[in-house]
A and B are shown apart, each in its own frame.
Chain A
Amino acid sequence: MSIHLSPATVGSPVGTYGLAIHTSSSDFGLAISNFSRDRRVQTWVLGRDLSMYLHTYLVDFLQPQSWSDLAFIAVAKGPGGFTGTRLGVVTARTLAQQLEIPLFGISSLAAIAYAESLKGVQDAIAIQMKAQRGEVFGAIYQPTTTGLETLLEDTVLPLEQWQHQLSAWSEPLKLVVIEEGVGSTVDSLLALAHLKWQQGDRSHWADTLPFYGQHPVDR
């Protein structure tokens, strides 16, 4: 089947706002900003009801802005809950497709690390998040003046292996262990996407897919 993709990105979008959607954990986070004076962030604990309320909360949250005010969208691409992440990614891809604006898929772990860096952490930040089958998601980021540098890409591995990797790390490291509820880092998600936007990145919606880390059958 031949599939034609719409032109990647508009050169000079009308909108000036960025919208971020975080659905990778049990709480649902939304953030919107024009990166000047207007900035709003909200989270809801929706759990399994996310699919039912996502759209009505989204449309209420957007006001007083409208869809045409958006210049780009950011979404948490995982790792995290498979279904929740998928709902956010499908919503974000469809919004970006229909509005013909860029979409930035941002790692949930990177958003957590960026939130930590804003607290003044200067050492490298290791993020550990529980995965299925006794494994953990892990990644290591270095805060920089322009955001984050990835030292270890998001990965999934057995806990022992991850701990061994951390103990063998030669530089100072701050470990952040996350159990649940990272929707509040949606603000960091938006900030990271904005950094990309400022650097001229205009990612196409088709490039953003969930990062699952694990497969239900294949090992």
Chain B
Amino acid sequence: MASVLAIETSCDETAVAVVNNRQVLSSVVASQVAVHQKYGGIVPEVASRQHVETINQLIDLALSEAGLDWSAIDGIAATCAPGLIGALLVGLTAAKTIALLQNKPFIGVHHLEGHIYASYLSSPDLKPPFLCLLVSGGHTSLIYVKDCGIYETLGQTRDDAAGEAFDKVARLMDLDYPGGPVIDRLAQQGNPQAFALPEGQVSLRGGGFHPYDSSFSGLKTAVLRLTEKLKQSGELPVADLAASFQATVAKALTKRAIACALDYGLDTIAVGGGVAANSGLRQHLQAAASQHNLRVLFPPMKYCTDNAAMIACAAVEHLERGHRSSLNLGAQSRMPISEVMQLYTEPAIHPGG
């Protein structure tokens, strides 16, 4: 089976990994969270600068931790879309340079496809079709996984991503960045029914609501108004606010994921993205899924957040199917996951050929 070295720099984590088939040989991540903390969020130019400072040392480290040399690497991969353009370009440029020097095939990988493949790392026997609930700071999507490179987005957020909503609400409550872990910790001590918050429904033109799309901007505004009101009357009940907000998000995501899986006859929901670590989401989704005999897969936390092992895992399968990217491949800030196969424009090469 093929071994791939992959680079992931789509946002604020610099990551390099070596994966053989679905087995992680090494996975190193340099987080920039502390760097961006003082700005209250990710500053794209700062993220790009940090990637430049770190990427080459991580390449050395990932290769040495894998115990391999370049002769044992069959392909070089990098996340090329979607993400912060400047950040993506750092990883993409380093990967292309290595591919050129080491004379290896180059494989550009869609970041969301990487998150889907994170589930294969912890459940190597997983096979399509299944539903992927992808929830992170940049994405909230329900993706029908049909085969390698063949995806259909069935639901998505119309405004803020779930993780983004956690960050913004944390700021309203004067909590630290990133908001997800802080709110989750506080929510353990609060009453999830203390405040009734709107779930956020997406209206359809002909009436009714979209069954799978979500919206978190109304929820965020409701928390804003509530915190303003509560601040006037004294100290904020942060634990109850956190618990109520988290429960509302978890219920909204669970309802849509379950409905989507049932409607499409899919018996497995694989969850990916940083918000997959959220305890409220895990509890709600597990409980609802078991009522409907659905299987839910949560990858280990290290593969939920951005990492390069998931990118390498996706690249291995593309490589084995003869998919190759051009060295002229560019970075894209946005790209629907349904267009993944456009990344592979080089003549198909038969495995071993």
| Residue positions of A touching B, CB distance < 8 A | 1, 3-6, 51-56, 58-59, 67, 82-83, 86-87, 89-91, 93-95, 97-99, 205-206, 209-210, 212, 215-217
| B150 contacts A by Cβ under 8 Å | no
Contact check, B94 vs A90: say whether CB atoms are below 8 A apart: yes
Could you tell me which residues of chain B, from 51 to 86, have a CB within 8 Å of some CB in chain A? 52-53, 55-61, 64, 85-86
Given contacts A59-B100, A98-B101, contact A90 B328 (CB under 8 A): no
Contact check, B100 vs A1: say whether CB atoms are below 8 A apart: no
The 7 residue pairs across chains A and B that have the minimum distance between CB atoms: A216-B45, A94-B97, A3-B57, A55-B327, A90-B93, A52-B330, A52-B328
A-side interface mostly: helix
In the assembled complex, which residues on chain A have CB atoms less than 8 Å from the CB atom of B328? 52-53, 55-56
In the assembled complex, which residues on chain B have CB atoms less than 8 Å from the CB atom of A98? 97-98, 101-102
Report the nearest A residue to B46, measured CB to CB.
A216
Determine the distance from Cα of A209 to Cα of B57 in the docked complex, in whole angstroms: 13
Given contacts A67-B101, A94-B94, contact A209 B52 (CB under 8 A): yes
Contact check, B101 vs A217: say whether CB atoms are below 8 A apart: no
Contact check, B100 vs A206: say whether CB atoms are below 8 A apart: no
In the assembled complex, which residues on chain A have CB atoms less than 8 Å from the CB atom of B57? 3, 5, 206
Chain B CB within 10 A, most for which of A1, A53, A54: A1
In the assembled complex, which residues on chain B have CB atoms less than 8 Å from the CB atom of A5? 57, 60
Sample (24) of A-B pairs whose CB atoms are under 8 Å apart = A1-B28, A3-B60, A6-B60, A51-B89, A52-B328, A53-B328, A54-B93, A55-B96, A56-B327, A59-B327, A82-B45, A82-B86, A90-B55, A90-B97, A93-B56, A94-B94, A94-B98, A97-B56, A97-B60, A98-B98, A99-B101, A206-B57, A212-B49, A216-B46
Determine the distance from Cα of A89 to Cα of B48 in the docked complex, in whole angstroms: 12
| Residue positions of B touching A, CB distance < 8 A | 28, 30, 39, 43-46, 48-49, 52-53, 55-61, 64, 85-86, 89-90, 92-94, 96-98, 100-102, 327-331
Report the nearest B residue to A83, measured CB to CB.
B86
Determine the distance from Cα of A142 to Cα of B225 in the docked complex, in whole angstroms: 63
Determine the distance from Cα of A182 to Cα of B92 in the docked complex, in whole angstroms: 25
Contact check, A86 vs B330: say whether CB atoms are below 8 A apart: no
In the assembled complex, which residues on chain B have CB atoms less than 8 Å from the CB atom of A53? 328
Contact check, A217 vs B46: say whether CB atoms are below 8 A apart: yes
B-side interface mostly: helix
Given contacts A56-B328, A90-B94, A91-B93, contact A1 B30 (CB under 8 A): yes
Determine the distance from Cα of A99 to Cα of B70 in the docked complex, in whole angstroms: 12
Report the nearest B residue to A6, measured CB to CB.
B60
Report the nearest B residue to A3, measured CB to CB.
B57
Contact check, A51 vs B55: say whether CB atoms are below 8 A apart: no
B293 → A minimal CB distance (Å): 43
In the assembled complex, which residues on chain B have CB atoms less than 8 Å from the CB atom of A94? 56, 59, 93-94, 97-98, 101
Given contacts A59-B100, A90-B94, contact A97 B59 (CB under 8 A): yes
Contact check, A83 vs B89: say whether CB atoms are below 8 A apart: yes
Contact check, A4 vs B64: say whether CB atoms are below 8 A apart: yes
Contact check, A55 vs B100: say whether CB atoms are below 8 A apart: yes
B305 → A minimal CB distance (Å): 16
In the assembled complex, which residues on chain A have CB atoms less than 8 Å from the CB atom of B56? 93-94, 97, 205-206
Contact check, A4 vs B60: say whether CB atoms are below 8 A apart: yes
Determine the distance from Cα of A87 to Cα of B94 in the docked complex, in whole angstroms: 9
Contact check, A95 vs B329: say whether CB atoms are below 8 A apart: no
Contact check, B100 vs A51: say whether CB atoms are below 8 A apart: no
Q: Known contacts A86-B49, A94-B101, A217-B46; can you find 19 more A-B pairs with CB under 8 A?
A: A4-B60, A51-B93, A52-B329, A59-B100, A67-B101, A82-B86, A83-B48, A83-B86, A87-B89, A87-B93, A90-B55, A90-B90, A91-B97, A93-B52, A99-B101, A205-B56, A209-B53, A215-B46, A216-B45
